[in-house]
Amino acid sequence: MRPAFIALVLSACSFSEAVPPPAPDAPSAMTPPTSTVIEWLGDALVQREGYALPADRVLAGAPVDICVQTYPALSAVRTTLQLSDRTVEMSAVRDDAGPFQHDRLWCAQLADLPEGPLALQLVAEDAGGAVRTLALPLTVSRDVALFAAAGDLASWRMAGPGSFALTADRDAIAAEPMQDLGLYWAAIPTPADFDLALDWQLARSDDNSGVFIRFRDPDTFGYDNPAWVGVHDGLEIQIDDTARPDGADVHRTGALYEQPATTYVRPSTSTPGVWRHFAISVRGERVTVVLDNQLVSDTTFAGDPEHPDRALPSTPGAPRFIGLQTHTGAVKFRNVRLALP
């Protein structure tokens, strides 16, 4: 290789491997983690059952875990969570957190949070008495948006093939099916009983989709296609005006798929391009579905001997979730909301 070409390659490599300086007041891989002075407090996280929650949309009624990191790992000797009416001691969970495994992770559980906006303050102290503080605003409500805008999709995960894409106006998502079922699910645990509301729209009269409730994390079952966890472990509220494969009402829009209903009233035919509204009520084993303000189905799930844990209510340590199906056609969804009864 010619010397001039070698110099050019070395020059290109030096540019591509250049490391920008770390942001002020943030840990870096090159900072020695031996100091006993707190240099950084950050990465606050709100969780429920190990799943991150948006801090501005915390559903009331169940405990949440608040976690934060301090750097270096051995610097902070005490970290507290301060509310307007009390101070909560946080526990040191581990000393290998953060992108470089140099941070200490602190967590505390909060129960019985009042509804409304809350101003939490995280306070870390080191042995020398130095203090770092971090504000963490929360909003606790009985009714939260799972999807109302593009930013909400950070809490959603795709199981199986296919995808959902934001529409041009960015206030709805459209299914993009592939060769098998897909399940787009909100990684936010649902309460034992809840109300779920959402809008949906067909692109063609023969589109097929569904809304799944009360299934466990699809990624914990080891399925080749984890979307089928929704089928085997949860329940589906059907969206299919053609009631495939046999025209039976248990396969029709608004039915609890393949579950005999106490009440089922055939809804009006969906018009492609026109939004429709589901209001789904889940109480114990009873699921009612209202479509455009008209009761369509009232069904009590009788259980499944082949899958005895199917569609159980959420319990501490065993959270359940909701999801949207990719099956056939570009079915759209918007305004997905979860509420306490």
Q: How far lies 147's CA from each of 100, 144, 244, in Å?
A: 33, 9, 29
Q: What is the pLDDT of residue 14?
A: 35
Q: What is the pLDDT of residue 13?
A: 37
pLDDT digits (tens, 9 = 90+) for 213-269: 999 999 999 999 999 999 999 999 999 999 999 999 999 999 999 999 999 999 999
pLDDT band for position 205 (cuts 50, 70, 90): very high
Tell me what the mean pLDDT of segment 89-114 comes to: 95
Phi-psi group of 73: left, alpha or beta (phi > 0 → left; psi -120 to 50 → alpha; rest → beta): alpha
pLDDT digits (tens, 9 = 90+) for 51-65: 999 999 999 999 999
The residue extents of the domains of the chain are 40-141, 143-339
Domain 40-141 classification at class level: mainly beta
Q: How far lies 29's CA from each of 32, 72, 128, 267, 306, in Å?
A: 8, 11, 24, 60, 51
Tell me what the mean pLDDT of segment 168-192 comes to: 96
More confident residue, 46 or 36: 46
CA count, 13 A, side-chain hemisphere, 316: 6
d(CA 98, CA 106): 12
337: pLDDT strictly greater than 60: yes
75: pLDDT strictly greater than 80: yes
pLDDT band for position 94 (cuts 50, 70, 90): very high
Q: What is the pTM of this model?
A: 0.88
In CATH, what is the architecture of 143-339?
Answer: Sandwich (2.60)
pLDDT band for position 2 (cuts 50, 70, 90): very low
DSSP 8-state code for residue 333: E
Q: What is the pLDDT of residue 47?
A: 98
pLDDT digits (tens, 9 = 90+) for 5-36: 333 333 333 333 344 444 445 555 554 467 89
Q: How far lies 230's CA from each of 81, 169, 236, 283, 289, in Å?
A: 37, 29, 8, 19, 18
pLDDT digits (tens, 9 = 90+) for 274-324: 999 999 999 999 999 999 999 999 999 999 999 999 999 999 999 999 999
Say if CB 228 and CB 310 are below 8 A apart.
no
103: pLDDT strictly greater than 80: yes
Q: What is the pLDDT of residue 35?
A: 83
Residue 320's φ and ψ, nearest 5 degrees, are -120, 160
- Dihedral angle sign, alpha carbons of residues 267, 272, 277, 281: positive
Q: How far lies 4's CA from each of 11, 15, 153, 333, in Å?
A: 11, 17, 50, 58
**Please, which residues bridge with residue 131 across strands?**
125
d(CA 149, CA 57): 13
Q: What is the pLDDT of residue 112?
A: 87
228's enclosing H/E stretch is helix 228-233
d(CA 43, CA 106): 11
When the pLDDT of each residue in the chain is averaged and rounded to a whole number, the result is: 91
Cβ density class 301-318: b for 16+ within 10 Å, e for less = beeeeeeeebbbbbeeee
More confident residue, 85 or 289: 289
d(CA 252, CA 300): 17
**Which two structure tokens, joined as six digits, stand for 226?**
């984890």
**Which two structure tokens, joined as six digits, stand for 176?**
């993009």
Tell me what the mean pLDDT of segment 155-172 comes to: 96
